């Protein structure tokens, strides 16, 4: 276990450094600023990520990037350990180590899910915990069976408490029991139903909040798959985007291993036994390292394939049939379940030069990319080469905007700031701090509509801040009149990264959102 613990310690240290070096992104800033009011529910997602960022920023007394990100970085350290334990149970310690390595090198997990203030961090950790408990529950006897099934239920509840799409992965566990004769007997026992009841109890506060808020969160997320439009080519586009997020040279063997684990032999790889389950045999020293028998009778590979399939398959189908956009990271929980299989395959093939080179090159490119991003955010080395729409702005904390407005006396106590959309509202609200109320002047105001409803400020004078050089005409109908003020900007080392138009909106109308 020593190499695994060293890996977790090293990658956690790197994430802490990277998390301190760059500012919060758009979605992160939105979650921190729109989640300053603690609640049982929120418009976009269940409460887990919101509560974590709220608790950490209050504990440290600051909304600095590292303070907001710390719970998510620590959770990913736990996620790494859980995924490694699943692979260890399959094929020994080397399999667990390489599952952890590949997980940390995958951008959608090692970067975004591993450190950013997003629902994906607690979601991945809870799903990994549920998967580990399930793999052990399948062959456990009382009282251990009750303990593992209860753990699976609680973790499943925490997963849904993090992100609604967790129900897809959990549904895979039910499908596994239905379609696997050797484990179908569990459906005649109380354990799975007790686990489901525990999951429902954990999730109950979200149901209660939605019931008292016109089911707003459920309706919003449900509508994201609505609207029929048949575009079959988008299935391939979605899978290609997911492959890019996971890394193509990880994605392809993961998909093939998942199909093989489900009983579809599409990969005649002699480094693995021809009949699955049996991953333990891929590791020559598995028995010496404490792995289960080479026959792997618990069906873990097949279970992991069933857990992975629903989010991967369903979002690919939705992309082809829905008029709404499917984001590539939505299927990430499915790929998370395949990393133990990839770890087993990597352990069995690490002696091959192309495997070692792929791992080394990926690690090098990941560190190089992190160094370039950090250097740009801190030193603006690439400033002269940046396009008009400078992506540097997303990785900056817009504190220069706050400093400029304060020096001009535009942020007196009690001032209310209005921003035309929720994305910019998140960045601006966090830059101005919790002492300045920020409202979103748009029908699509997300959680700002609950945290700081614009209708509560009807008739007031609002300081309008809008990204760009002018105040858009869409705001003119929301006020009695608008008086332009001198513009401001987001500045990095003396260079204007993003212009900010400033105006005084007098008499906010009642028709505003």
- Quick check: is 385 in a domain? no
DSSP-derived secondary structure letter, 327: P
Q: Residue 269: which pLDDT band, with cuts at 50, 70 and 90? A: low
Same domain for 76 and 155? yes
Domain that holds residue 145: 2-365
| pLDDT tens-digit series, residues 300-349 | 999 999 999 999 999 999 999 988 888 999 999 999 999 999 999 999 99
If you write DSSP's letter for every residue of 254-265 in order, what string do you get? HHHHHHHHTT--
The mean pLDDT of the chain is 91
Same domain for 341 and 397? no
337 contacts: CB under 8 Å, gap ≥ 6 = 127, 131, 169, 172, 304, 305, 307, 308
pLDDT tops 90 at residue 487? yes
- Residue 280 confidence (pLDDT): 38
Find the mean pLDDT for residues 487-505: 96
pLDDT tops 90 at residue 217? yes
Choose between 271 and 340: higher pLDDT: 340
Final residue in a domain of this structure, among 365, 381, 407? 365
Same domain for 212 and 345? yes
Q: Coil, strand, or helix at residue 507?
A: strand
| pLDDT tens-digit series, residues 36-81 | 999 999 999 999 999 999 999 999 999 999 999 999 999 999 999 9
- Quick check: is 386 in a domain? no
How far apart, in whole angstroms, are the C-alpha atoms of residue 303 and residue 443? Answer: 43
- Residue burial 420-451, b: 16+ Cβ < 10 Å; e: rest: bbbbbbbbbbbbbeeebbbbbbbeebbbbbbb
Same domain for 34 and 105? yes
Q: Residue 141: which pLDDT band, with cuts at 50, 70 and 90? A: confident
How far apart, in whole angstroms, are the C-alpha atoms of residue 309 and residue 338? Answer: 10
Same domain for 341 and 436? no
Find the mean pLDDT for residues 277-286: 38
- Quick check: is 387 in a domain? no
Kindly report the pTM of this predicted structure: 0.92
- Residue 275 confidence (pLDDT): 39
- Quick check: is 374 in a domain? no
Same domain for 131 and 277? yes
- Residue 268 confidence (pLDDT): 58
- Quick check: is 49 in a domain? yes
Same domain for 41 and 88? yes
Same domain for 239 and 322? yes
Greatest extent of the chain over all pairs of C-alpha atoms, in Å: 78
- Quick check: is 378 in a domain? no
- What stretch of H or E contains 103? helix 93-105
Find the mean pLDDT for residues 360-373: 96
Same domain for 336 and 399? no
Same domain for 343 and 300? yes
Domains in the chain: how many in total?
Answer: 2
Give the range among 36-40, 265-269, 301-305, 390-394 with minimum mean pLDDT: 265-269
Torsion of CA 152, 153, 158, 163, to 10 degrees: 90
Find the mean pLDDT for residues 30-34: 97
| pLDDT tens-digit series, residues 430-460 | 999 999 999 999 999 999 999 999 999 999 9
Contact 334, 170 (CB under 8 A): no
Same domain for 291 and 406? no
Same domain for 414 and 352? no
Strands 416-419 and 437-440: parallel
- Quick check: is 384 in a domain? no
Final residue in a domain of this structure, among 350, 365, 380? 365
| pLDDT tens-digit series, residues 104-127 | 999 999 999 999 999 999 999 999
How far apart, in whole angstroms, are the C-alpha atoms of residue 291 and residue 295? Answer: 11
- Residue 279 confidence (pLDDT): 43
- Quick check: is 388 in a domain? no
Altogether, the residues listed in the chain come to a count of: 513
Spatial strand order in the sheet of 416-419: 437-440, 416-419, 462-467, 495-508, 479-492
How far apart, in whole angstroms, are the C-alpha atoms of residue 339 and residue 360? Answer: 18
- Residue 283 confidence (pLDDT): 37
338 burial level (CB within 10 Å; 0-12, 13-18, 19+): buried
């Amino acid at each position: 276990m020593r190499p695994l613990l060293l890996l977790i310690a090293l990658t956690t240290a790197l994430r802490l450094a990277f998390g301190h070096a760059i500012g919060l992104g758009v979605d992160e800033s939105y979650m921190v600023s729109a989640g300053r009011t603690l609640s049982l529910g929120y418009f976009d997602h269940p409460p887990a990520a919101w509560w974590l960022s709220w608790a950490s920023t209050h504990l440290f007394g600051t909304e600095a990037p590292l303070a907001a990100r710390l719970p998510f970085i620590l959770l990913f350290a736990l996620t790494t350990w859980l995924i490694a334990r699943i692979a260890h149970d399959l094929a020994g310690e080397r399999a667990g180590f390489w599952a952890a390595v590949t997980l940390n090198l995958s951008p959608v997990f090692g970067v975004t899910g591993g450190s950013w203030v997003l629902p994906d961090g607690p979601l991945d950790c809870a799903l990994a915990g549920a998967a580990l408990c399930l793999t052990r529950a399948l062959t456990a006897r009382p009282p251990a069976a009750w303990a593992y099934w209860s753990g699976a239920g609680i973790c499943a509840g925490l997963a849904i408490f993090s992100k609604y799409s967790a129900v897809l992965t959990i549904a895979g566990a039910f499908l596994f029991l239905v379609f696997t004769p050797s484990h179908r007997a569990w459906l005649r026992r109380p354990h799975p139903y007790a686990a489901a009841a525990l999951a429902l109890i954990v999730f109950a506060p979200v149901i209660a909040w939605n019931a008292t808020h016109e089911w707003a969160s459920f309706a919003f997320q449900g509508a994201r798959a609505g609207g029929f439009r048949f575009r079959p080519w988008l299935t391939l586009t979605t899978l290609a985007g997911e492959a890019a997020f996971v890394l193509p040279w990880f994605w392809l063997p993961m998909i093939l291993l998942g199909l093989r684990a489900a009983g579809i032999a599409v990969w005649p790889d002699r480094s693995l036994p021809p009949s699955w389950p049996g991953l333990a045999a891929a590791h020559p020293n598995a028995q010496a390292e404490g792995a289960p028998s080479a026959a792997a009778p618990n069906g873990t590979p097949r279970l992991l394939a069933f857990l992975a399939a629903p989010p991967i398959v369903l979002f690919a189908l939705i992309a082809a049939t829905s008029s709404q956009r499917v984001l590539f990271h939505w299927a990430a929980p499915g790929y998370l379940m395949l990393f133990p299989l990839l770890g087993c395959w990597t352990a069995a093939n690490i002696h091959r030069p192309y495997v070692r080179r792929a791992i080394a090159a990926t690690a090098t490119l990941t560190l190089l990319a992190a160094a370039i991003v950090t250097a740009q955010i801190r030193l603006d080395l690439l400033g002269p080469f940046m396009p008009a729409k400078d992506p540097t702005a997303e990785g900056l904390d817009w504190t220069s905007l706050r400093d400029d407005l304060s020096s001009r006396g535009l942020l007196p106590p009690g001032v209310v700031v209005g921003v035309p959309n929720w994305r910019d509202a998140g960045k601006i609200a966090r830059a101005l701090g919790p002492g300045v109320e920020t409202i979103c002047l748009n029908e699509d105001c997300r959680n700002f509509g609950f945290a700081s409803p614009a209708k509560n400020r009807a008739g007031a004078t609002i300081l309008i801040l809008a990204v760009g050089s002018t105040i858009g005409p869409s705001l003119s109908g929301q006020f009695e009149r608008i008086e332009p003020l001198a513009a401001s900007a987001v500045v990095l080392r003396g260079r204007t990264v993003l212009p900010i138009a400033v105006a005084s909106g007098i008499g906010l109308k009642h028709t505003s959102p």
